[in-house]
Amino acid sequence: MSWAGKLLRVNLTAGTCASEPINMQWAKEYLGSRGLASKYLVEELDPKVDPLSAENKMIWATGPLTGTMASTGGR
């Protein structure tokens, strides 16, 4: 299992995408990409944002066992 240490931000409204390094401190504190994605969501999203607005975020991430032989690791 490996990872690139980057995240990809895609802005569908502006039609842009950009790659940036992940916050390594958060990566050490939160297990797997799901934990890291949850941290990004909590830090960057206003809890009162309209779910259908352009300000809302969609995050796709894999878990720490994805790509391993662990049973149900890719759920």
Please, what sign has the CA dihedral across residues 26, 1, 37, 34? negative
Q: What is the pLDDT of residue 1?
A: 39
Q: What is the pLDDT of residue 33?
A: 76
Strands 16-21 and 6-11, by their bridges, are antiparallel
Sort 46 into a burial class: Cβ within 10 Å, 0-12 / 13-18 / 19+.
Answer: exposed
pTM: 0.73
Give me the average pLDDT of each 10-residue run along the chain (75 residues): 77 94 89 84 94 90 75 67
pLDDT value at position 3? 67
Spell out the SS3 assignment of 40-65.
HHHHHCCCCCCCCCCCCCCCCCCCCC
